Structure 1
């Protein structure tokens, strides 16, 4: 168990710094966004598992030859009031840290979900008052505003895509189709779940460079995935023009005072970022749409500090396309992702199963 804890600690350290830094600087993710997304998820899960596992295994080392035996001995100490003299100060510290970190991560995940759901509910109530149904398809509504805005609000059967009058007036029919396809891709591929998980991870560990890099990368990758869906039926020129028009709305802060309510691509009201870059408001600030001022509104396309970079990378990707990764390379990356999850899991569980 002694060496297992150190191996897990080394793996956690590698996944916390050099690996995400190198991956964030790599150029290949834009060529195969889905493959890169899987790798980022594997890094996050394996890193967290290794970090908690290293502390847990180290703490249990004096009372068991493997994790399962150590947990049984610890359970005996807790529930049967057995003596804990075998555990030194640092072992108790490691066990406490593992328990606190696990509880912190789970609590932050649930709290982030609760906040997003509450803000989405408020956002739907505002849309019910201020938006009107669109003729461009079911689940699409229009708000009365001159700035070009497009975003989607996830919610299962209640999911809705929101467009502005200004956007519809500025876009040609093909460009509008590209916007709608892009937003529907966010909804159908459940990008909100990815954004929620990585947002919670960053909220829980904001001092880790991994969390910031992963969140930024995921925000960009889901946009590229939605772009790829739009490209199946629309031309690159059409999509590029649509991105540029929607992104131009970011220079017109007519929707109210800018706030800091965005959480990893999900804005303060739970909306998922969309085709271009728009405005967003803090959950309690005023939003002016069509002459009405309401509280807790947010209109966002991508938003956030990294949106200009994300938009630029998407346009560059469309203007200077590179071939996707070859199938052998994609398979290799997916196998590496699976291996990242398998190694810490095996180090923790297999010794106990082997007795």
Structure 2
């Protein structure tokens, strides 16, 4: 069993400690943010599946005993667990540690989902109270749009079913029709790509395991890449310069562009819009997407095999 533990344990450690730093230093995700998001998701999935494989292998005697008979006093399950703790205490400790990590991960995800659900409902109710639904007369609007009285230009999306777009009267006054379309397109990309769920996942893992490099980098990079991906879509539809000017207008009251350096993500977004980077060649995009997608699929198949077959 110790030999079988080496591959998943080694890959789990590599995906958790070494790979995140290497991927975060790479420059190509900023050129292809959608592919970069896919790479981070696959890396995280690979690490989680590796830990799952290690858990199944270390607990193989107990799992086999569970398939052999029901739990109870003197049952094969308790006998196998007692034998595992006596003959291989390191395996019992590893199994307990991995099981605790799995339980804590599930608890963190559930807590984040509950918090997001409550926050979404409260915010949507607050918006409904401030303004009624407006017919879709704004450019690029799809579904209900709320217009809120506010001198500052702003626009955002409240994830819901359907997504709720909100725009202030300040944005309607200061943004041109084309700039407003770019802003709304940016927000609609977040809704259609379900970026909010990806942000909740990365936040839950980073909050639950604050000292794990993979989850910390996953959270930071996800918040960055979802904005870059939405910017790219808005720029392709409305123009890079138009999207950049809309971004400046929305953040002018926050000290932009005079203090853009103090907000590195905003500064990077403006730089990419004003000086768009070249995209990766199609072959390299396809090869990268295939390569990062194979790793979690491989370990998913291993996990399924371990769950359906015995350790012998």
Fold shared by both chains (TM-score > 0.5): yes
The alignment partner of 2:157 has SS state of: strand
**Partner residue in 1 for 2:227:** 223
Q: Is 1:87 aligned to residue 42 of structure 2?
A: no
Instruction: Work out the CA distance in 1 between the residues paired with 2:12 and 2:24.
Output: 17
Query: CA contact under 8 A between 1:195 and 1:218: conserved in structure 2?
Result: yes
Instruction: Work out the CA distance in 2 between the residues paired with 1:216 and 1:248.
Output: 24
**Partner residue in 1 for 2:292:** 337
**Partner residue in 1 for 2:65:** 73
Instruction: Work out the CA distance in 1 between the residues paired with 2:4 and 2:302.
Output: 6
**Partner residue in 2 for 1:194:** 198
Query: CA contact under 8 A between 1:59 and 1:93: conserved in structure 2?
Result: no
Q: For residue 246 of structure 1, report the CA deviation from its aligned partner.
A: 1.4
Instruction: Work out the CA distance in 1 between the residues paired with 2:297 and 2:178.
Output: 46
Which moved further from structure 2: 74-83 or 102-111?
74-83
**Partner residue in 2 for 1:40:** 40
Question: Which of structures 1 and 2 has the larger relative contact order (alpha carbons within 8 angstroms, sep 6+)?
Answer: 2
Query: CA contact under 8 A between 1:142 and 1:162: conserved in structure 2?
Result: yes
Q: Is 1:144 aligned to residue 149 of structure 2?
A: yes
The alignment partner of 1:233 has SS state of: helix
Q: For residue 132 of structure 1, report the CA deviation from its aligned partner.
A: 4.4
Structure having the higher helix fraction is 2
Instruction: Work out the CA distance in 1 between the residues paired with 2:144 and 2:133.
Output: 8
The alignment partner of 1:156 has SS state of: coil
Query: CA contact under 8 A between 1:52 and 1:101: conserved in structure 2?
Result: no
Q: For residue 128 of structure 1, report the CA deviation from its aligned partner.
A: 1.2
- Which residues of 2 match residues 83-232 of structure 1 at below 5 A? 83-84=79-80, 85-88=82-85, 89-134=89-134, 135-136=137-138, 137=141, 138-157=143-162, 159-232=163-236
Instruction: Work out the CA distance in 2 between the residues paired with 1:349 and 1:122.
Output: 40
Query: CA contact under 8 A between 2:235 and 2:242: conserved in structure 1?
Result: no
- CA RMSD after TM alignment: 2.5
Q: For residue 178 of structure 1, report the CA deviation from its aligned partner.
A: 0.7
Q: For residue 320 of structure 1, report the CA deviation from its aligned partner.
A: 2.0
Instruction: Work out the CA distance in 1 between the residues paired with 2:39 and 2:59.
Output: 30
Q: For residue 347 of structure 1, report the CA deviation from its aligned partner.
A: 4.2
Change (3 A) 1:307 1:242: farther
Change (3 A) 1:146 1:194: same
Q: For residue 175 of structure 1, report the CA deviation from its aligned partner.
A: 0.6
Which moved further from structure 2: 324-333 or 35-44?
324-333
**Partner residue in 1 for 2:252:** 248
Instruction: Work out the CA distance in 1 between the residues paired with 2:110 and 2:254.
Output: 31
Q: For residue 90 of structure 1, report the CA deviation from its aligned partner.
A: 2.2
Instruction: Work out the CA distance in 1 between the residues paired with 2:184 and 2:290.
Output: 34
Length-normalised TM-score, structure 2: 0.85
Q: For residue 228 of structure 1, report the CA deviation from its aligned partner.
A: 2.1
Change (3 A) 1:12 1:4: same
Q: Which runs of 5+ in 1 are unaligned?
A: 64-69, 253-275, 277-305
Length-normalised TM-score, structure 1: 0.76
